[in-house]
Amino acid sequence: MKFLAIIGVSLMIALGGGVASAANADKGAKVFKKCKACHSLKAGKKKVGPTLHGIFGSKAAKMKGFRYSKAMKKSGVTWDEATLDAFLIKPRKFMKGTKMGFAGLKKKKDRDNVIAYLMTIK
Ligand code: HEC
């Protein structure tokens, strides 16, 4: 029993350590495949959605020439880890009236990784 408990604890530490250092931009690039149909990463290039070039740290609805929803325009959001995370879980829940037709990323890891990836696109 005691032996099992020790294994259990060390497993928890190992897994916990993994989670703490989880965000991984390479994995995020794979997650981004889900966004690619609608989002370019090139400055100034829009698709169905606005470019996500330099999105991290930027204010919402900043791309010139993209017709954002009213909801996005008046959101006042600045895209950082917290707001991107909340938006990407369920875009329409976080921002009622957004035009982003995407169900969301349920897995925390996927969100962390894709955010880490977006941070590298400057
Ligand atoms: C079906 C198309 C579609 C998909 C898939 C999609 N988006 Fe979007 N996205 C949009 C549209 C359209 C908007 C503009 C929303 C608005 O104006 O309300 C948007 C807006 C955004 C914004 C705000 C941009 C700004 O300039 O403020 C972010 C951030 C974003 N999307 C991230 C993502 C990420 C990350 C993914 C993949 C996990 C993704 N989107 C998947 C269509 C999409």
- pLDDT of 11 > 60? The answer is no
Residue 119 has pLDDT above 80, yes or no: yes
Cα gap 112→23, rounded to integer Å: 5
> For the chain, which residues make up each domain, given as ranges?
23-119
pLDDT band at 22, cuts 50/70/90?
low
* Overall pTM > 0.75: yes
Ligand 1 cavity residues, CB under 6 Å: 34-35, 37-39, 48-50, 52, 55, 60-63, 68-69, 71-72, 79, 88, 98-102, 105, 114
pLDDT of the residue at 48? 98
What's the CATH fold of domain 23-119? Answer: Cytochrome Bc1 Complex; Chain D, domain 2 (1.10.760)
Please, which residues have CB within 8 angstroms of residue 48's CB and are 6 or more apart in sequence? 37, 38
**118 Cα to the center of ligand 1, angstroms:** 12
